[in-house]
Amino acid sequence: MAEINFFKVCATIILLLSTNSRAFGAPVEKGSALFIFGDSTVDPGNNNYINTIPENRAAYKPYGQNGFFAEPTGRFSDGRVIVDYIAEYAKLPLIPPFSQPSADYTSGVNFASGGAGVLPETSHGLVIDLPTQLKNFEEVQKSLVEKLGESETKELIAEAVYFISIGSNDYMGGYLGNPKMQESYLPETYVGMVIGNLTQAIQVLYERAARKFGFLSLSPLGCLPALRALNFKDNEGKCLEAASALAQAHNSALKAVLAGLEQVLPGFKYCNSNFYDWLDDRINNPSKYGFKDGVNACCGTGPYGGVYTCGGTKNVKDYQLCDNADDHVWWDSFHPTERIHEQFAKSLWSSTEHPSSVAPYSLQDLFFNKEKLTIADIVDSPDGDQFQ
């Protein structure tokens, strides 16, 4: 009879117990903290606390109608948005808005503001623009040092994931809706300006010790119900190509910039997404993904529900509401339904589901594969003390 190696048996048992620890009631590993910057795609309610126009608010019914939240929160959705799912997958609580009084920042903060752009000129005076969001992040860092101490805060900041979803408003309102901008800048020049400012923002965060980034790229903007409605008379409601072309140019430029930053910034890791093609497929083939309608908004009025009246708080009070938001790709004239947010969060989390949509890392890699990035990368970097 073959001799049994006692130590190999013990090692095997330990390995099995460790890989199945969840089944035995062991505590589930908590992911890195999550800091969020952006616009209405990820705003959890920051705009509830600022003076702005009704178009930049969503803290009223039927927003949040699906019952996950007890009342509307300010999210531009029938329920949750993509970062709520990311937090869930990372074993984190819901990430609070920066503007929420007495918020706990130890699991992260959401700085996003509906209507915001990369450029401070976009929706100027009506939103929390990206430069201001970055300043707010610095305030959070100081607050964390006071609460946790410098050493623990350094580790939290270094291990955190920084999720950025912004740019649509720069092109829709900031350029296509602004004749002066179109007179001053060619489309490619304007895209370069937006990307240049976004790159600068990434570098600012990197200098503050951020190393792991996630990006939600721009959708096919011309196919939003609002822009399709603008094109209704001239082109039978087809997608507004000028808007979609700007989104594609932005995404291509960002992809190149991120690849470059990975080469020159030590420890820089990122998850980029091809949200454009992913969403375009659901718009054109909704039934393939469990939807019934990829064109019309669930909440709104006019052609395709593209007149932005959802909730009846704007100049035009009339709006129609569909029976089941889960049947639709679009919730209102500009924003997708919770179901779209959930589906793409899953894609970002695990790139095995849609490998062509997410690269070079998945969000799961960034949150849990901490061995790929050590605190020594930050502490021993030639940049010196990141908290001065």
Residue with tokens 């860092």: 141
| CA–CA dist 114, 199 (Å, integer) | 21
| CA–CA dist 108, 134 (Å, integer) | 14
Catalytic residue, candidates 273, 332, 347, 362:
332
- What 3-state class would DSSP assign to 66? coil
Catalytic residue, candidates 40, 351, 357, 362:
40
377 is catalytic: no
| CA–CA dist 332, 320 (Å, integer) | 10
40 is catalytic: yes
Residues 6+ apart with CB under 8 A from 108: 33, 34, 35, 36, 87, 92, 95, 160
Catalytic residue, candidates 43, 165, 168, 335:
335
Compute the Cα dihedral for 244, 319, 111, 47 and give only its sign.
Answer: positive
277 is catalytic: no
Amino acid identity for residue 126 in this structure: L
| CA–CA dist 21, 23 (Å, integer) | 5
Looking at residue 38, the DSSP 8-state letter turns out to be E
Residues carrying an active site annotation: 40, 332, 335
